[in-house]
Amino acid sequence: MKHIDLLGRAAQCASLPIIPPSVAPSAGLRRVLRKVGCLYGRKPRPYDGGRLRPRSAARDSSMHLYPSYRSLFVVLYGPVLGLVAASAAAQVSPGAAPRTNAFNDPFVQVTQAIPQCPVPEGPLYTEAEVRELAHVRSQHGGSCHRVGRCRLPNSYLYDAEIIPRGQRYIQQDGRFDDTSVWVLGERRLVTLKGCVQSQAQSDALEKAVWLVDDVLGVINLLQVGTDAAAARYPLLRP
């Protein structure tokens, strides 16, 4: 059972949006990462029963599973480590296999007032990644439903409801009409990407999405301005 749980955490973290190492995680983002057993930063520590325990400096420096611009990763043990490393290599290798949104994760643009805003890449997976993630995704949230805490039998089933409601709420709010924002839904986590006019507006948008029913967490990758070099998310390839 331990290896099954670790495999689940590996796939969950691998499917989260990539966050550059220069981005300081907000308190909300840190809470979201802890909930799904993922770690942020250059010195990962193991997830153990809901607590993050420190590791020795020597062990920390050997656990970089992604290149420097991919700092969101999971610390695993045994055979699972090889699985995640292979998945990461497949994502960044030259001439990678075609990628598609095989799981139909909802990804939509909700506002479009800033035409120069860098366009984010959607949720794309190679065929190999789909095979690795399919079983884990099919089981995610099952125990929550069985004990009666969750309404639906799978966490990903909420996304098809959350994103349209979030889109309507953002558009009707009125405070965000001068932005260009995309939203991504993955297992009740809503990721915000795009451009806003100020940090205050970014914070307000994040708080607004938290109010949408069934949202478990919000990952705010919005940027002030339109500088593509400052984008906090992977960009759509030409």
Task: Flag the least confident range among 22-36, 70-84, 148-162, 174-188.
Answer: 70-84
Outline where the chain has alpha helix (H).
2-14, 27-35, 57-60, 79-92, 127-139, 142-146, 159-173, 199-210
On the 0-12 / 13-18 / 19+ scale of CB atoms within 10 A, 161 is middle
What's this model's pTM, rounded to 2 decimal places?
0.64
Question: Is the confidence at residue 191, as pLDDT, over 50?
Answer: yes
pLDDT digits (tens, 9 = 90+) for 60-119: 443 333 333 333 333 333 334 444 444 454 445 556 689 999 999 999 999 999 999 999
Instruction: Give the Cα separation of 52 and 39 in Å (integer).
Output: 9
Instruction: Give the Cα separation of 51 and 213 in Å (integer).
Output: 28
Strands 189-196 and 217-224: parallel
Q: What is the mean pLDDT of residues 204-213?
A: 97
227/30: higher pLDDT:
227
